[in-house]
Amino acid sequence: MDFIIISVGNELLSGDIANSNAAYMAKKLVHMGHRVKRIIVVPDDVAEIAEEVSKASKKADFVLVTGGLGATHDDVTAEGIAKAFGLKLELNEVAASMLRRLTRNEEAIRKVASMPEGSEVIPNDRGAAPAFIVRNVAVMPGVPVEMEDTFEKILKKFSKERYFEESLRIEGYEEKILKQLNSVVEEFKDVEIGSYPKPGYVIVKFSGKDNKRVKEAKKRLEKLLKE
C-alpha cells in the first residue's frame, strides 16, 4: 500500500522539535512492505490542513496525520480533516465517554471529542486525546508516546507484505563507487537501492519484495568493487 504522512504543528516548522513521529511511522511501514510516498509538514491552520489532507487522500491508499488533537486554541486538526471531506464536526460520544473517565472539564471534553461525522475512535492508552479514522485518513495525537500507542493499534488493520533489506558498508566516498553503483541500479530495476554517505564511508541499502534479487544486487556491487 502507498501511504502519505502529514505532521501538523508550528513547532515542527520552527525547528523547535524534530519530526520523530514521521520517522517512527515511516520505518514501521516500510519494514511491513508498504511505501511512504511523501512526508508533509503543515502549520496549525485549518485551511492548510484541509488542503493537504484532501490532496493526499486522493494520491495514497491511506493517510496518517499526527498532531493538533488537544484542547487548546491551536489544536485545529479535527476541524481541518472535516473541512477536507466536507463533513460536519460533531461531538463523538464514544470519545467523550473515554475523556470523562479522565476529567470533568466539559469544555475540554467537547473540544477534544469533536470529530468529523462518522469517525471511528481509536483509544489512547498513554494520554487523553483519542485517535480517529475517517475515510482513508487516520489522525493521531502528536505526543510521541501517544502517537506510538494509537499508531500500533491502527497498524494492525494493514497486512504485512513481503520486504527484504540488505546493506553494504564501503570505506571512502561516493565518488569512487559511482560507476559500479550506477551499473547495479541499471541492472536491478526491481530493487530499491539507496546510497547514504557518512563521515569517511558510504552505506548502500538494497531493499525489495524479492529476497533473492536483493541479495543478488548486493553481491553484484561487491563483485564490481573488487574488480
- Tell me what pLDDT residue 227 has: 83
143 shares its domain with 175: no
- On whether the pTM is more than 0.85, the answer is yes
Count: domains in the chain: 2
Domain that holds residue 74: 2-155
The domain spanning residue 176 has which CATH number? Answer: 3.30.70.2860
pLDDT tens profile 174-203: 888 999 999 999 999 999 999 999 999 999
- Tell me what pLDDT residue 191 has: 95
pLDDT tens profile 79-88: 999 999 999 9
> Alpha carbon 15 to chain centroid distance?
19
91 shares its domain with 72: yes
113 shares its domain with 49: yes
Where the chain has pLDDT below 50, the residues are none
10 shares its domain with 116: yes
120 shares its domain with 170: no
Helix, coil or strand: residue 37 = strand
Separation between Cα atoms, residue 7 and residue 77, nearest integer Å: 10
- Spell out a b/e string for 177-210, using b for 16 or more CB atoms within 10 Å of the CB, else e: beebbeebbeebeebbbeeeeeeeebebebbbee
76 shares its domain with 174: no
- Tell me what pLDDT residue 174 has: 87
Separation between Cα atoms, residue 32 and residue 63, nearest integer Å: 16
184 shares its domain with 205: yes
13 shares its domain with 122: yes
70 shares its domain with 174: no
Amino acid at 205: K
